[in-house]
Structure 1
Amino acid sequence: MQTTVQEIYIQVVRNLSLAEQLRLATLILNDLVKQQSTAIDESDTWTEEDERDLVSFSLQSAASNFSEIDEAEQ
C-alpha cells in the first residue's frame, strides 16, 4: 500500500515542531534547486553572436522601413 503525500504530511510533518517543519521545507527546496540547476538546457540560451545578429537585423530592417516611409512621403 502506497502512502500519499497528504498522509505523510498528516502523520509525520504536522507532528514536527515549527522549527523542524521549516528545516524540512528548506531541505526539500534546496534539493529542488540543485536538481533544477542541472536540468537547465543551455542550448536555448543566446550567445553574444546571436545577440549581435539580432541587433544587426533589427537595425537593417528599421533602416529599410524608414527609407520606404521617406520615399512614400515624397
Structure 2
Amino acid sequence: MSTIVQELYDQVVCTLSPTERLRLATLILNDLVQQNLSIVEQSDTWTEQDQLDVTAFSLQYAATLFPENEEI
C-alpha cells in the first residue's frame, strides 16, 4: 500500500464514524463501477476447477466435523 494512501486512511478515514466509512466505501465502489474499470486481473479469478476443489475440500472438512452418526 502506498504511503499516501496509508496516511489518508490514518488521518481521515479512521476519524469517520462506521456509517460514514460505509458511505465512503459505497461512493468509491460505485465510482469504480461507473468508470467500468477492468481492475480484476483474469489471473486472480477462480477457475471452475478451483471452485470444485474448494467445494470438495469444504465438504470433506464438514464431514469430519459432523459425522453421520451424530445428530445435527
| TM band (smaller chain) | 0.3 to 0.5
TM-score w.r.t. the length of structure 2 is 0.46
Q: Give the TM-score normalised by structure 1.
A: 0.45
Structure with greater helix percent: 1
